[in-house]
C-alpha cells in the first residue's frame, strides 16, 4: 500500500467531518430525524407516487441547504474544483446503481456510515462494510480494466 | 420553525462535505483505491462526523420529544437481511464507478456541475424505479 501524500488532507477532512457531525446533531436534536441523504431524497420521490402530508417541507428545506452550500462557500472565498473523471454513460449507470442500491439498502454514507454507526446499529455497521468493500472492489476492477 | 432548522442543518452539512473533500469524486476514488495510491483523508471525515454525532445520538435516544417539541423519528430496525446487504453492495458499486454518493452529488449539482446533474437525475430515476417496484410488490402481496 502506498499513501497518496500529495492529496492527503487530514486536517480539513477532519474539520469538514466535525461540521457534518454538527449538522447531524442539529437535525436529530431539533428535528428529531436522522440526517440520511438518500432517505430524505427517497422520501420525496416516494411522495410522487403515494403522497403523505407533513413529509415534504422539511425534506425540501434540508436539500435546499445542501444546494446553497457551494454558493455560500464561494462567497467566503473557497471554490472547489472537483475531479470528475467518469464519462456520461458511466455517470448514468452509477446514478442508477446509487438510487436503487440506497433504496433497497435503506441508506447511504450519511444514514448508515455516520448516523447508524454513531448509534451502534448492527444494520448500519453491516451496510457500511458492504458498500465500502463493494466500492473498493469496483475501483480496483475499474483501474485494472482501464 | 422546524423547516428553517432543517434548511440550516442541510447548509452546515453541505459546507462540511465541501470542506472535507467529499464533493470531489477524484478524492473519493482515491480513498477507495486501497490497492493503488491511497488517500486516507475520508477516514478522517467519518471520524470527525462520528465524534460529534455519537454524543448527540446518546442524548437524542433518551428523549421522547425533540428540542423543538416535535416527535422523534429514529429508525428502530436492527436486523440484517438480504435486501440491506444486496442494496448496499449495489450502492457501493455505483459509488466506486463515479465517486459520488447522494449528499456530495447534490452539493456538486448545486455548484452547477453538469456531470453531477446527470448523476442526480439518474439517481432520482433509480429511486423512482424502487418506489414503483415496491408499490407493485405490495399490491400483489395484499391481493
CA distances from B75 to A119, B48, B49, B79, B131 (A): 10, 22, 19, 12, 19
A21: Cβ contacts below 8 Å, ≥ 6 apart: A114, B16, B48, B49, B50, B51, B52, B53, B56
Of A10-24, A51-65, B87-101, least confident by mean pLDDT is A51-65
Cβ B118 vs Cβ A92: under 8 Å: yes
- Per the prediction, chain B carries an average pLDDT of 95
Q: What pLDDT shows up at residue B138?
A: 86
pLDDT at B141: 80
Predicted confidence (pLDDT) at residue B46 exceeds the cutoff of 90:
yes
Selected residues 69-88 of chain A with any CB under 8 Å from a CB in chain B: 69-74, 78, 80-86, 88
Q: How far is A52 from chain B (nearest CA, A)?
A: 14
Give residues 113 to 142 of A whose Cβ lies within 8 Å of B. Answer: 113-119, 121-123, 126-128, 130-140, 142
| Minimal C-alpha gap between B98 and chain A (Å) | 6
Question: DSSP label at A1?
Answer: -
Would you say A116 and A128 are in contact if contact means Cβ atoms under 8 Å apart? yes
More confident site: A4 or A79: A4
DSSP characters for B29-41?
A: HHHH-TTSEE-TH
- Phi/psi for B65 (5° steps) reads -135, 155
User: Global pTM?
Assistant: 0.96
Instruction: Return the half-sphere exposure (C-beta side, CA atoms, 13 A cut-off) of residue B118.
Output: 14
Buried b (16+ CB within 10 A) or exposed e, A41-62: bbbebbeeeeeeeeeeebbebb
| % of chain B surpassing 90 pLDDT | 90
Strand partners, A33: B73
Q: Is the pLDDT of residue B25 over 70?
A: yes
State whether residue A95 sits within 8 Å of chain B by CB. Answer: yes
Supply the pLDDT for residue A146: 74
Q: Could you tell me the pLDDT band of residue B143, with boundaries at 50, 70 and 90?
A: low
Q: Distance from B109 to chain A by nearest Cα, in Å?
A: 7
The pLDDT value recorded for residue B22 is: 96
Query: How many Å apart are CA A131 and CA A113, to the nearest integer?
Result: 9
Out of B12, B23, B34, the one facing A136 most closely (by C-beta) is B34
- For the record, the C-alpha cell of B39 comes out as 488517500
ipTM of the complex: 0.96
pLDDT cut 70: percent of chain A above it = 100
pLDDT tens readout for residues A88-136: 999 999 999 999 999 999 999 999 999 999 999 999 999 999 999 999 9
Does the CB of A56 have a partner CB in chain B at under 8 Å? Answer: no
CA distance A20 to A108: 14
Q: Which of A10-14, A54-58, A86-90, A110-114 has the lowest mean pLDDT?
A: A54-58
Tell me: the pLDDT tens digits for B119-137?
999 999 999 999 999 999 9
CB nearest A134 (choices: B92, B113, B120): B92
What mean pLDDT do residues B30-52 have? 96
Amino acid at each position: 500500500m502506498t499513501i497518496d501524500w500529495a492529496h492527503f488532507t487530514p486536517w480539513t477532512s477532519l474539520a469538514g467531518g466535525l461540521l457534518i457531525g454538527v449538522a447531524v446533531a442539529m437535525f436529530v436534536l431539533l428535528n428529531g430525524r436522522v440526517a440520511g441523504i438518500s432517505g430524505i431524497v427517497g422520501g420525496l420521490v416516494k411522495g410522487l407516487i403515494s403522497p403523505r402530508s407533513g413529509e415534504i417541507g422539511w425534506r425540501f428545506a434540508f436539500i435546499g441547504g445542501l444546494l446553497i452550500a457551494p454558493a455560500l462557500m464561494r462567497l467566503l472565498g473557497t471554490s472547489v474544483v472537483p475531479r470528475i473523471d467518469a464519462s456520461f454513460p458511466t455517470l448514468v449507470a452509477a446514478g442508477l446503481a446509487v438510487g436503487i442500491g440506497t433504496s433497497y439498502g435503506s441508506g447511504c454514507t450519511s444514514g448508515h456510515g455516520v448516523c447508524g454507526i454513531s448509534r451502534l446499529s448492527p444494520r448500519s455497521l453491516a451496510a457500511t462494510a458492504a458498500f465500502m468493500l463493494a466500492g473498493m472492489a469496483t475501483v480496483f476492477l475499474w483501474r485494472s480494466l482501464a | 420553525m422546524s423547516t428553517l432548522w432543517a434548511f440550516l442543518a442541510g447548509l452546515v452539512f453541505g459546507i462540511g462535505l465541501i470542506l472535507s473533500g467529499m464533493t470531489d469524486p477524484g478524492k473519493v476514488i482515491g480513498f477507495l483505491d486501497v490497492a493503488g495510491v491511497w488517500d486516507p483523508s475520508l477516514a478522517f471525515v467519518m471520524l470527525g462526523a462520528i465524534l460529534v454525532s455519537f454524543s448527540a445520538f446518546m442524548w437524542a435516544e433518551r428523549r421522547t420529544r425533540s428540542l423543538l417539541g416535535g416527535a422523534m423519528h429514529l429508525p428502530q430496525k436492527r436486523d440484517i437481511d438480504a435486501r440491506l446487504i444486496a442494496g448496499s453492495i449495489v450502492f457501493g458499486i455505483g459509488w466506486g464507478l463515479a465517486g459520488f454518493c447522494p449528499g456530495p452529488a447534490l452539493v456538486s449539482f448545486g455548484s452547477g456541475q453538469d456531470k453531477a446533474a446527470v448523476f442526480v437525475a439518474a439517481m432520482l430515476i433509480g429511486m423512482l424505479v424502487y418506489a414503483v417496484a415496491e408499490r407493485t410488490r405490495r399490491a400483489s402481496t395484499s391481493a
